[in-house]
C-alpha cells in the first residue's frame, strides 16, 4: 500500500492518503475554575493569544464548577483548589469518571504541597501546577492541545 502523496502515486494501486496537517475539528474548549479575578483575567489574556482556543466558561465556587464541568462541554479544565465557596478537591470528587477521562484537568494552585498533588491526581487531575511558578506550563499545555 502506498503512502505517497496522490499526485506522485497516481495509478500505482491502492493508496493511503496521509493528511497534510491534522487540526482539531473544533476550538479547544477551556473552562477556568478560579475565584481570583486577577488570575482569571491573566489566564484569559494569555489564552486569548492562542489560536483555535475558546473559553467555554468560568466558575468561582464549587457549586458553579460542578455544574459547569458536569455539562461536559470542555476539553481542558483549569481548576484552583481554594475557591470562594468550597474547594477544588471536592469538585474533582463530584465529577463522574467519564468526564475526568474525556477532558484534561489541570489543578493550578497556590497550595502546591505534595499531599494536595497526590490527592488531586488520585481524584482524576492530569496535571498539577504551582501558580507562583508554573503559569507558562499551563499556557504551553493549552497551546499544544489547541494545535493538536
Is the separation of the CB atoms in 112 and 135 below 8 Å? no
Supply the pLDDT for residue 105. Answer: 96
In a domain, 136, yes or no: yes
Burial class of residue 6 in the structure, from the number of CB atoms within 10 Å of its CB (0-12 exposed, 13-18 middle, 19+ buried): exposed
Q: Is residue 3 part of a domain?
A: no
> Who's near 90: CB < 8 A, 6+ residues apart?
62
From residue 39, alpha-carbon distances to 44, 64, 110 in Å are 8, 18, 11
Number of compact structural domains in the chain: 1
Confidence at residue 24, expressed as pLDDT on a 0 to 100 scale: 57
What confidence score (pLDDT) does residue 9 get?
38
Q: Which domain holds residue 87?
A: 28-147
CATH of the domain at 115: 3.40.50.2300
Please check whether residue 6 lies inside any domain of the structure. no
- pLDDT, position 123: 95
Query: Is 1 part of any domain?
Result: no
Q: Where are the beta strands (DSSP E) in 7-103?
A: 28-33, 53-59, 76-79
Are 76 and 26 in contact by the 8 Å Cβ rule? The answer is: no
For residue 22, being part of any structural domain is answered with no
Question: Residues, the chain, total?
Answer: 148
The answer to whether position 121 is within a domain reads yes
Question: Cell digits for 3?
Answer: 503512502
4 inside domain: no
Q: pLDDT tens track of the chain, all 148 residues? A: 444 343 333 344 454 434 434 455 789 999 999 999 999 999 999 999 999 999 999 999 999 999 999 999 999 999 999 999 999 999 999 998 767 677 999 999 999 999 999 999 999 999 999 999 999 999 999 999 999 8
For residue 120, what are the contacts with CB-CB under 8 A and spacing of at least 6?
Answer: 81, 88, 89, 92, 107, 128
CB 129 within 8 A of CB 106: yes
User: Is 132 part of a structural domain of the chain?
Assistant: yes
Amino acid at each position: 500500500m502506498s503512502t505517497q502523496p496522490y499526485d506522485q502515486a497516481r495509478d500505482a494501486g491502492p493508496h493511503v492518503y496521509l493528511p497534510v496537517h491534522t487540526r482539531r475539528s473544533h476550538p479547544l474548549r477551556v473552562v477556568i475554575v478560579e475565584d481570583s479575578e486577577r488570575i482569571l483575567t491573566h489566564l484569559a489574556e494569555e489564552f486569548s493569544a492562542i489560536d483555535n482556543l475558546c473559553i467555554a466558561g468560568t466558575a468561582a465556587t464549587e457549586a458553579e464548577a460542578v455544574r459547569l464541568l458536569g455539562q461536559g462541554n470542555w476539553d481542558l479544565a483549569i481548576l484552583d483548589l481554594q475557591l470562594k465557596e468550597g474547594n477544588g478537591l471536592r469538585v474533582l470528587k463530584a465529577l463522574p469518571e467519564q468526564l475526568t477521562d474525556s477532558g484534561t484537568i489541570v489543578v493550578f494552585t497556590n497550595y502546591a504541597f505534595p499531599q494536595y498533588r497526590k490527592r488531586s491526581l488520585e481524584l482524576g487531575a492530569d496535571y498539577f501546577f504551582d501558580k507562583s511558578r508554573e503559569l507558562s506550563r499551563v499556557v504551553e499545555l493549552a497551546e499544544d492541545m489547541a494545535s493538536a
